[in-house]
Amino acid sequence: MSISPINGTRAQIRTVILISGSGTNLQAIINEVRSGELEINLCAVISDRPGIQGLERAEQAGIPTRVVDYQKFEQRADADTALGRELESTAPDLVILAGFMRILPAEIVTRYRGHMLNIHPSLLPKYRGLHTYRRAIEAGDSHHGSTVHFVTAELDAGPAIVQYRVPINANETEASLAARVQQGEYLIYPRAICWFAEGRLRLYDGDVWLDNHRQTQPAILNEL
């Protein structure tokens, strides 16, 4: 079954999603497309690993899948080149990183600058990289969350678009905090994608522009 929206009143942007794991954010995006809330053409899902649940989710939704198995390449640069070729062959208007656990080469980031989004589990610019839940709890932070941002060459440093913010409760664990933050990701990622698809969101001169206004800080959605 194709999940492309049946409402053909305007062209839908060609969207490719890169994954490495279970694909929960992918599923949230699929659900929004199916409901008609998000009008994009999901033209491919590309994984850097075979046999993962995210590929099953895509296949069940009728989305073409491709695998660039990094473990089969002797040189990392050759795998990156293969990924770049797969991306180019799909001619995407938007590339979405949804739990893609590879640092992309500068050539790919530059090629899709302003047309590539990522979601990171922290209130950027805090806690780039890994183990963000643990780091926030150990630092005694009052809040944690997740950020959708444009991808740039510097890891987790692209301009922030929208954040989901939750209070850190007493006796919070990494697992409990992660579960709450991830529920918010399923809200803010489709929202940012929708803004881009509708032409409301753009990266210009290194800044986020939403509805023709330069954003000095990301939009904030607090835990419901």
How many separate domains does the chain show? 2
What digits encode the pLDDT tens for the residues 177-203?
999 999 999 999 999 999 999 999 999
Range(s) of the domain holding residue 33: 11-112
Q: Which residue among the candidates 120, 131, 143, 149 is catalytic per the annotation?
A: 120
* Helix ranges (DSSP H) in the chain: 24-35, 53-60, 76-90, 106-111, 132-138, 174-197
In a shared domain, residues 102 and 128: no
Strand partners, 220: 163
Q: Which of residues 49, 82, 112 is at a domain's end?
A: 112
Q: How much is the pLDDT for 9? A: 39
In a shared domain, residues 182 and 134: yes
Q: Which amino acid is at 224?
A: L
Task: Report the C-alpha gap between 197 and 94 in whole angstroms.
Answer: 9
Q: How much is the pLDDT for 163? A: 98
Task: Report the C-alpha gap between 196 and 78 in whole angstroms.
Answer: 31
Does 6 map to a domain? Answer: no
* Side-chain half-sphere exposure of 154, counting CA atoms within 13 A: 7
Q: How much is the pLDDT for 224? A: 74
pLDDT in tens, the chain (224 residues): 234 432 333 569 999 999 999 999 999 999 999 999 999 999 999 999 999 999 999 999 999 999 999 999 999 999 999 999 999 999 999 999 999 999 999 999 999 999 999 999 999 999 999 999 999 999 999 999 999 999 999 999 999 999 999 999 999 999 999 999 999 999 999 999 999 999 999 999 999 999 999 999 999 999 97
Q: Which of residues 112, 131, 154 is at a domain's end?
A: 112
Q: Which two tokens stand for residue 13?
A: 């942007």
* 131 flagged as catalytic: no
Let me know how many helices (H) and strands (E) the chain has, helices first: 6, 11
CB 191 within 8 A of CB 219: no
pTM of the model: 0.94
Strand partners, 44: 16
Nearest to 29 by CA among 1, 8, 5: 5
CB 177 within 8 A of CB 168: yes
